[in-house]
Amino acid sequence: MKTRFKAFPGTLTSLLSAFVLLLSLTNFQPHPRDADPTYEAEIKAWHRNRIASLKSERGWLNLAGLFWLKEGNNTFGSDRENDVVFPKGAAVIGSFELKNGQVSVRTEPGVGVTADGQPVTERNVFAAKETPPPVLQLGSLRWFVIRRGDRYGVRLRDLESPLLTEFKGIETFPIQPEWRVAARLETHNPPKMLTVTDIVGTTSRQPAAGTLVFDVKGKTYRLDATAEGDHLFVVFADETNAEETYGAGRFVYVDQPGADGKTFVDFNKAYNPPCAFTPYATCPLPSKDNRLAIRVVAGEKNYGDH
């Protein structure tokens, strides 16, 4: 006689469903991007603002030149016989005079240079007490004087720059909440002095606001930070540089800590320095103490061929 197993109606199906549910709960790992929609929306909004800032009149995408001035008279205009050669505009726009750390400008009659909506024929455009320096305008061109160490230069913008019109955005790593890491700020007494070198070789000394100490995957890391307004500013390098990210490191702002010294370093807001977009910027480089022996796969990726 053959014995046949007869299941109650629906019993086998119910058991199978329960088993699949249990297995799915056991193996389920939430995707980081789905973990906190509010946080993801915050980071996306931050990045939209970042792009808008890059494309604005004061952004980095319209830089069209950086010209270092020599002591004395420096003629400028589009003619190649000038000391400072602009890519467009009148053949001779005028001249800059650098003397004892002050810069003045004199323009040719009828050229039409303005500043703050007023015609400029002769004016001081850089002095230690004048911050920020005035922005001079001619057509789509904007320029002003900067100082780097003991050098003085003219930074030129062109609101019709090809870099600006051809800009297609910046690729980023997936948003991952785990890269918003809890940190504490260790202060130094006396203050620790940082040696800051920029991409053109100028070196300066700046006091550190402190050292941010945080853990990633069970290991402790440290980053020196400077104070910038209501935030801490960090220039850092990591093991993604020169491959997925810009070779000379990235920047990130951090909220000032509370009374308990605690804050967060959000690497999802790590962004490219201006030098990733243009050769006319003078970006600070990461110090040897700010080179992380870890791959920070968060924030902005490299841009273009840099």
Is the model's pLDDT at 67 over the cut of 50? yes
Domain ranges of the chain: 63-165, 177-290
Q: What percent of the chain has pLDDT over 70?
A: 87
pLDDT in the model for residue 36 = 82
The answer to whether 225 touches 287, Cβ cutoff 8 Å, is no
**Mean of pLDDT values over 72-85:** 98
Answer whether 204's CB lies under 8 Å from 149's CB. Answer: yes
Give the pLDDT confidence score for residue 16 in this predicted structure.
Answer: 36
Q: Which of 169, 96, 83 is nearest to 133 (CA)?
A: 96
Higher pLDDT, 229 or 256: 256
**pLDDT at position 304:** 74
Backbone φ/ψ region at 12: left (φ over 0), alpha (ψ -120 to 50), beta: alpha
The C-alpha angle 228, 238, 267, rounded to 5 degrees, equals 50
Cα 54 to Cα 168: distance, rounded to the nearest angstrom: 12
Closest CA to 156 of 140, 170, 143: 143
Q: What is the pTM of this model?
A: 0.83
16-47 b/e (C-beta count within 10 Å ≥ 16 → b): eeeeeeeeeeeeeeeebeeeeeebbeebeeeb
Q: How far is CA 199 from CA 43, 165, 249, 263, 274, in A?
A: 29, 26, 11, 30, 11
pLDDT exceeds 50 at position 213? yes
Instruction: List, in sequence order, every residue forming a beta bridge with 241; answer none if it has no partner.
Output: 245
The CA distances from residue 196 to 204, 224, 234, 235, in Å, are 5, 11, 12, 10
pLDDT at 209: 96
Burial of 124 (0-12, 13-18, 19+ CB in 10 A): middle
Over residues 94-131, the pLDDT tens digits come to 999 999 999 999 999 999 999 999 999 999 999 876 57
Query: HSE on the CB side for 184, CA within 13 Å?
Result: 7
* pLDDT for the residue 1: 38
Q: Is CATH 2.60.200.20 the classification given to domain 63-165?
A: yes
Give tens-digit pLDDT for 6-43: 333 443 344 334 433 333 333 333 344 445 899 999 99
pLDDT score of 253: 98
- Cβ-Cβ contacts under 8 Å for 64 (sequence gap 6 or more): 87, 141, 156, 157, 158, 161, 280
Q: Phi then psi for 254, rounded to 5 degrees?
A: -130, 135
When pLDDT is averaged across residues 164-170 and rounded to a whole number, the result is: 92
pLDDT at residue 203 is higher than 80: yes
The yes-or-no verdict on residue 4 having pLDDT over 70 is no
Confidence of residue 306 (pLDDT cuts 50, 70, 90): low
Angle, alpha carbons 104-68-144 (nearest 5°): 50
- Asked if the model's pLDDT at residue 183 lies above 60, the reply is yes
Q: Stretch 178-187: mean pLDDT, rounded?
A: 97
Mean pLDDT of the chain: 89
> Residue 6's pLDDT is what?
38
Q: Is the peptide bond before 284 cis (omega within 30 degrees of 0)?
A: no
To the nearest 10°, report the CA torsion of 146, 286, 276, 255. Answer: -80
